[in-house]
Every structure is written in C-alpha cells, then in structure tokens.
Amino acid sequence: WSGEITPKADIWSCGVMTYELLSCQIPVEIRCTSQEDAMRFWAIAPPINYRVLSPTSQNAVEACQEMLRKDRQARPSAADILWRPFLQQASSAGEGTTPDAVAIRQILECLVKLPERGLLYMSVSLEVARR
C-alpha cells in the first residue's frame, strides 16, 4: 500500500462488509493506528479464510475474493460487482433454497446479531440483502 486512497479502497471495504455479512466474521484482524501500521499490514497481508463462506454460492465467494484482492489494480470496479449474478439474482432468490437465498437469510440473521453497528452500515446491509 502506498498510502494513497482510491475508489479501489471502497471496493476493498465493500468486500470486507460482504465477507462479514456472509460469515458473521471479519476477514482479517487489522489493528492499524497509524499509516506505518497500515503499511506493515499491506506488506504481509495475512491470508483470508474463504472456507467460512462455503454455505453461500460460488459466485458470492468469487465476488468476495475479487473485492479483497491485495493488488488494488486487480480489484473489480463497483459497476462490475453490481452486475455479478450473486447480486442480480438475489432479488429473485426470494425464500428459496438456492445458495444465494440461503446467503440472504444469513445476512439478515447476522444483522439481527449486530446491534452495535451504525445506522449507515445497517442501511447498506439491508439494501444489499434486499437486492
């Protein structure tokens, strides 16, 4: 990480939020209190356990993996993510038993367990789940 914040940082943040919503866990433990801490984190970039996402669709897992790539240039754009089948099919998944429908229910269950989250976080999470 060079210290520069770009729109690709927002993609990373969306990936973190998506991972957290699908697994009720954070992808990595980050304790950055300074720019030097952030530089050290990005230098080693601990591995992310994607196995905890196994109940969700492969497309959802791939979307998380793409958003959480260490190389920001390799991350997709926001438009690319919004067109992923995971999000496009979520609105039609309804109450079925497809992996995406299960993921939507998991997201909603996680939201109920996270009352300490801010209103913006909850609003965005509900919108993602709704779609």
Rounded CA separation 78/10 (Å):
8
Q: What is the pTM of this model?
A: 0.65
pLDDT at 120: 56
Q: Is the pLDDT of residue 1 over 70?
A: no
Please write the tens of the pLDDT for every residue from 82-130.
788 777 665 554 556 666 667 666 766 665 565 555 555 556 666 666 6
Task: Concatenate the DSSP letters of all residues of 41-72 into one string.
Answer: HHHH-----GGGGTTS-HHHHHHHHHHT-SSG
Q: Is the pLDDT of residue 2 over 70?
A: no
User: Contact 112/126 with Cβ under 8 angstroms?
Assistant: no
